[in-house]
Amino acid sequence: MIGRIWHGWTNFNNADTYEQLLKNEIFPGIASRKIAGYRGIQLFRRPLGNEIEFIVTMWFDSLDAVRKFAGDDYERAYVPEAARKVLERFDDRSQHYEIKERLQY
């Protein structure tokens, strides 16, 4: 399994707007693509100094599945235009890690 990790930062005024955009539009849009090997998404949020940091982790069966989502340049971040309007900054590239252990209790 592969974990795809990405970070974005926004100001306090736009944080709730961005979170709702993710939950109501971007995440459902990704799910609706029904990408073979896509296994889900997690959203993390925390205040960090004078901004809010978001971390998105996506789960895929393999790098081939990641490529089905992101294309040949699979490390390139997927940041729709609506998100770019409310983010202050974001990672241009996503990081990918092989998941060696994933326990659920």
CATH of the domain at 85: 3.30.70.100
Residue 34 lies in a domain: yes
Give me the number of domains the chain comprises.
1
Residue 8 lies in a domain: yes
Q: Token match 């209790």: residue?
A: 105
> What is the domain range of residue 36?
2-98
Residue 105 lies in a domain: no
Residue 104 has a pLDDT of 78
pTM for the predicted model, two decimal places: 0.92
Residue 103 lies in a domain: no
Pairing of strands 89-90, 95-98: unpaired
Predicted confidence (pLDDT) per residue in 60-89, tens digit: 999 999 999 999 999 999 999 999 999 999
Distances (CA, A) of 13 to 9, 17, 44, 46, 51: 12, 8, 18, 14, 9
Residue 104 lies in a domain: no
Instruction: Give me the phi and psi of 63, to 5 degrees please.
Output: -65, -30
Give me the residues of the chain with pLDDT under 70, please. none
Residue 27 lies in a domain: yes
Residue 93 lies in a domain: yes
Residue 84 has a pLDDT of 96
> Which residues lie closer than 8 Å to 47 by C-beta, 6 or more apart?
12, 53
